[in-house]
Each structure stands twice: as C-alpha cells, then as structure tokens.
Structure 1
Amino acid sequence: MTLRYLLTLSRPRFWLYLAGPVLVGATYAAAELSDLTAPVVLALAAYFLVPANVFLYGVNDIFDRDVDEHNPKKEARETRYRGSRDVLVAVAASGVLGLGTFAVTPAVAWPWLAGFFALAVAYSAPPVRFKTTPLLDSASNGLYVLPGAAAYAALTGHHPPLLAVLGGWLWTMGMHTFSAIPDIQPDREAGIQTTATWLGEPRTYAYCVAVWALAAAAFALLDPRLLAVFAVYPVFCAWVARSAVPVERAYWWFPYLNGLAGMTLTLAGLWRLYG
C-alpha cells in the first residue's frame, strides 16, 4: 500500500516536468549523440524522473495536510497524506538520494542543484513557505528549470544561456499560477493566500497570459524559431479564459501540451547534432 501511495503522491502525470528539462538541457549541451548517454546525464535523468518527484511532492503534501482536506483534487487524481511514518521515511530518503547528484556532477552544476533542493523545501515548508505568499509562490516555481540547467552545465562545463533560464523560469511561473486557478476556492476556504486567490480568476488568466508572453519573447530572442513553440501557451490560456471549458478540465491537458512542446524542443536539438 505504501508503494502504491508513493506512486500516486509522486504525480506520475507530471514526472516529465523534472526529467524532461534534464533531457532538453542535455540535448542542447551535447556535442555529439553519445553525450546523451553519458553517466552524468543518465544519473540526473534517473533521479529527476521519480525520486525527485517523491521528494518535491512529498514535502508539499506533508506540510499541506490540513489544507488538502478542502481540496477536491485529492479525492481522485491525487491523494492525501495521512501521517504515515513510512511515507516520511521515503520522502526523506529521496532527499538524501538527491545529495548523490552533487557527487556525480562537476562543481559548475552545483548551484543549479542546490537551487532546486532549496526551493523544493522552501516552497512548502515553514518558516518560508513560499506557496502561501502571492507572487513568491509563482516565482519560486522556477525550480522546475533547474534540473535542465544542471544537466547543461554538467555536460558543457559552463552555465546555460541566461535567456534560456529566464524564458524557462517565466514559463514555469505561468504553469504554476494556471494550475492554482482550480484551487482558488479550496485555498480561500483553508485561509491560504496565493497569487491566484489574490488576483481572482479573471486577473489570474491575464497574469498567466502576460508571463507566458514574456517567456515566449525571451526564447524568441535566443532563437526566433522557439517562438513557434512557446507562443502556444498565452494563446491557449486566453482561449481557456474566454471559452466554456472548465479550468479544472483544461488543467489536466497540460501534461500532453507540455509533452508535445518538450518533444519538439528535443527533436530540434537532435536535428542540430545531425546537421
């Protein structure tokens, strides 16, 4: 039962949100195809596929135990933490395992890894608990970009382009805040303040459109062809805001949209290697 619970807790639909950036970062860092199977890439991909998700979402669920009692998402696709000691041990072990990523990567990748682990804890755990502070909850979700930056740094020996990090960071801010729209009412009932509860639903849509547009602009400055991928997000958000599609339903389309975007970026990077 604990393994089944941990699987649900780790949000399998979202596994690629951490492992995907590793693959994309490694693809654009690679000088030749064999670099993609380098031990450091395989180690980072393995950790950020499952253990990192157990750690990230486990910390979240442990410190959100009271809040989640009001959240209907926990009744179907997700689950509620019930105080199991085995779960605490598994989440802690996943964090300790993450320390191994420092052992297999060069020092240039360490700031990116340290940033991930710091934000993964600070987002949910007191005394910081960014998730209960409007705007900081959104900004702190740049943590999803950091595994990709670490993979890029580990392969190249230098940091990734600033525009790539900025664009990815803004993109994650939009993703996080859009995902908080279905939680506006449960969060208000629980007394939790987020960017979405602070702005309200209509202005939260506008916020997401704005940060996704800025993300698309940053990526376009890096490479104009990337606009074709990232311009989809503000357009999609604006369509959802004006359509009759419930946001609770649209939220669950993002794993497919993000998977398609990630596949496009990865294939483009592979084409670069063959070109």
Structure 2
Amino acid sequence: MKLTLKEVFIISRPRFWMYVLGTFLVGIISSGNLFLYDTTTTFLLIAFGLFFWIPANVFIYGVNDIYDYQTDIYNEKKVKYESVLKLEKHRSLWIIIILLLVPFLPLFFIVNLPTKIALLVFLFTGLFYSATPLRAKSKPPLDVLFSSIIYVSPALVGFFITGRTTIAWAAVLGGLIWAFGMQTYSAVPDIEADRKAGVNTLATMLGEKKALWFCLIAYLISASIGYFYVGYIAVVFGIIYGVIVLLSIYNLSKLFKYYTYFPLINILGGAFLFFYLFFKEIFR
C-alpha cells in the first residue's frame, strides 16, 4: 500500500525538524563566520542542510514508526498526538526512506574524514536506535545514549564540513547530557505503553518521578557545562527546563500537556543560541 505525501510529512514529525537541522546549524556557526567559506564548502553546507531538513527526519522517525508498531498501538500519545503507521504501509516507507537518502550518497565521498565519521555515527544510531537486532531504545542506558547521539551528531557534521577539526569536546558532552534529559522526558509519557509492549527504557526502569528527577539533574549539569561556553544563556536555559521538569514532577497529571510545549521551547531556545553565536562570530 502506497503512502501519500501527507503521510510522509506527518511521519517526518515537522515539529521536530529543528532537532537535527537546528543542531546542524549550531555546529556550523560555532565553527566560525559562515560568510568566509569557499564555494565548495558553502555548497556542502547547503546540501547537508537540505539533508537534515526532511530526508534525515523521515529516516529516523520512519524507522522508529516501523519498529515501534507493536508499542504504538497501545500508546495513547501516539494515537492522539501523532499517528500509528499501518502495517501494510511499512514496505512503502522503506522505499521512500531509501529514495530520499540515495541522492545524498555522492556527498559522502566529497567530505573530509571527520565528517564521514560523524555521518556514519548519525546513520548508525538513527537506524539501530529503533531497528533490530540492536534496537537500542529497548536496552537502557543505550536508549538514552543512542537518542542523544542522533541529535548531537548533526552538529559535528556541520562543524567538520567547514574544515575545522579542533572541537571543544566538553561542549559536545554538555549537549549530549542535555539530550539525555530531553530523551528521557519524552519517554515518560510512553511508560505505560512501553510496559504493555514489553519494551524496556530508562524511563520504565526508573518510573515517572525518578525519571523526571534524572531529567532535572541532566539539565542542570548540561547548563553548568554550557556556562563556560555561552555564559548566562546556559543558566537561563537551565532554569527554563528545570522549571518545566519540576512542574511535571509535582503535577504528573499534566505531564503530557507540558510535554507538548517542549518542541516550541526547544526551537526557540535553539534559535536564540544560533543567533547568539551568529552575531558573536560576525562582530568578533
């Protein structure tokens, strides 16, 4: 059974597009003034920007929908807030994923080695976070680690494409820890459905409240690391995310409502960080 363009659009999770595209852009701007790059580098940055816009999102969320089918049918969040992909459409989705990725394959042979490695890391974690035989999302703490790498590795791709290879790995660690919190928070509304389907996650192991306390600690540690790179902006982010998690801890009945705010908060926060770094580089 074929998929419509609308269905592919929904599968790509438009509200989450900026999670990988946004980190890619932050990686670019953290490498220096983007107006100073040569024509080839600019072409690669634009091409990979297109890749991390729709194809990469259809890839990671499409694979997720295929392998999460047995969980999704029990998941109220998935049924009401997103959509469950019918079993007979899985084959068509695989074809679409391949068709979207293949045009970007030649670029792999143009970019430098660090970029190749970062791309392979993104593709590996994006696939095997959900896919068998590894299916990291059901093997905590690999679920948190793989998910975090999926969202942070595009920043490394953006950074390395520019030719820069000296990277502040402590900042990358801070980004990963922030993503630990994001992934775990998003998994808390899925606890009941995951348990019914026999899927183990860090959230199902810890339970709602302990998982949320883990999120709070992750955000505070990430903000502390971020302070050494972006100053009080990291502190503000830490307070915002910390408040949301605390509200969730003491109002568990409203947790899903708070969860729906996260995409907007993440996008606004990411945009603010990008433009902060942008103007910092431009007026250096």
Q: TM-score, normalised by structure 2?
A: 0.90
Q: 2:23 maps to what in 1?
A: 21
Q: Return the offset for 1:176.
A: 0.6
Q: 1:124 maps to what in 2?
A: 130
Q: 2:162 maps to what in 1?
A: 155
Q: 1:6 maps to what in 2?
A: 8
- Distance in 2 (CA, whole Å) between partners of 1:162 and 1:60 is 29
Residues 164-175 of structure 1: pairs in structure 2 closer than 5 A: 164-175=171-182
Q: Look up the equivalent residue of 1:172 and give its one-letter code.
A: A
Q: Return the offset for 1:100.
A: 4.1
Q: 1:49 maps to what in 2?
A: 53
Pick from 58, 62, 66 the counterpart of residue 62 of structure 2.
Answer: 58
Q: Look up the equivalent residue of 2:14 and give its one-letter code.
A: P
Q: 2:275 maps to what in 1?
A: 267
**Greater mean deviation of Cα atoms: 13-22 or 259-268:** 259-268
Aligned to 1:80, the other structure's residue is in SS state: coil
Q: Look up the equivalent residue of 2:61 and give its one-letter code.
A: Y
Given that 2:186 and 2:259 are in contact with CA atoms closer than 8 Å, whether structure 1 keeps it comes out as yes
Residues 23-102 of structure 1: pairs in structure 2 closer than 5 A: 23-33=25-35, 35=37, 38-82=42-86, 83-84=88-89, 85-102=91-108
Q: Look up the equivalent residue of 1:215 and give its one-letter code.
A: S
Q: Return the offset for 1:245.
A: 6.0
- Distance in 2 (CA, whole Å) between partners of 1:121 and 1:97 is 18
- Distance in 1 (CA, whole Å) between partners of 2:101 and 2:207 is 35
Given that 2:28 and 2:158 are in contact with CA atoms closer than 8 Å, whether structure 1 keeps it comes out as yes
Given that 1:28 and 1:269 are in contact with CA atoms closer than 8 Å, whether structure 2 keeps it comes out as yes
Q: Return the offset for 1:145.
A: 0.7
Identical pairs, percent: 32
Pick from 84, 109, 114 the counterpart of residue 103 of structure 1.
Answer: 109
Q: Return the offset for 1:44.
A: 1.2
Structure-2 change in CA distance of 1:152 and 1:185 (3 Å): same
Given that 1:30 and 1:156 are in contact with CA atoms closer than 8 Å, whether structure 2 keeps it comes out as no
What are structure 1's unaligned runs of at least 5 residues? none
Q: 2:224 maps to what in 1?
A: 217
Q: TM-score, normalised by structure 1?
A: 0.93
Matched, 1:191 2:198: yes
Q: Return the offset for 1:273.
A: 2.5
- Distance in 1 (CA, whole Å) between partners of 2:253 and 2:271 is 26
Q: Look up the equivalent residue of 1:236 and give its one-letter code.
A: I
Q: Return the offset for 1:229.
A: 4.1
Q: Return the offset for 1:98.
A: 4.8
- Distance in 2 (CA, whole Å) between partners of 1:27 and 1:243 is 38
Pick from 234, 240, 257 the counterpart of residue 242 of structure 2.
Answer: 234
Q: Return the offset for 1:206.
A: 0.6
- Distance in 2 (CA, whole Å) between partners of 1:245 and 1:20 is 31
Q: Return the offset for 1:228.
A: 2.9
**Greater mean deviation of Cα atoms: 39-48 or 221-230:** 221-230
**Greater mean deviation of Cα atoms: 32-41 or 233-242:** 32-41
- Distance in 2 (CA, whole Å) between partners of 1:156 and 1:260 is 28
